[in-house]
Amino acid sequence: MTNTDFSEQWKSMQNMFLLSFPHSESFRENARRFWENQDKILDNMEAFTGNWFKRRHTGTHSAREAAERMSGTGSIVDMAQVYQDWAKGAFERMMADAIACQEQIIAATGALTSPPLAPAEKGPEPARPETKAPVRTKAP
């Protein structure tokens, strides 16, 4: 009598392959680490965009308030002071954006460049010669 349970045969074949695959444990760990890093990147991007939108809302509210105060001032000096206060806040938000971008890049590249769990067993790679782009000259 032959076994016609193909799903059981398939599972058996998979187990044979995976158990005979010499790096299956390191592959499993590297895959797990890869997807954990993807989650970290997404979490960082979500935090970055959330904070970015908060700063944009703060900026629009500050601009509206500054416009209202400027229209109610009695002198050009008062108007310039209101504008200067608003511009200072805009600059601070711009710097916060730059710092947040830099932190996001560092976090993303750190997650992407984490060392593999199981280093290769072969020796160091030979140095590659540098290739230089040919210099173009104008035809006479």
> What whole-number distance in Å separates Cα of residue 18 and Cα of residue 28?
10
- Domain of residue 54, residue span: 24-112
- Closest by CA to 48, choosing from 119, 98, 114, 122, is 98
Asked if residue 140 is part of any domain, the answer here is: no
- Evaluate whether residue 31 is within a structural domain: yes
Residue 20 and residue 14: Cα distance in Å, rounded? 10
Task: Give pLDDT tens digits for 11-58.
Answer: 877 776 666 666 677 888 888 999 999 998 899 889 889 988 999 999
Q: Does the pLDDT value for residue 4 go beyond 70?
A: no
Overall domain count for the chain: 1
Flag the least confident range among 58-67, 94-103, 123-132.
123-132
**Within a domain: residue 59?**
yes
Output the pTM of the full model. Answer: 0.51
> Residue 138 falls within a domain, yes or no?
no
Residue where the block lists tokens 């998979």? 14
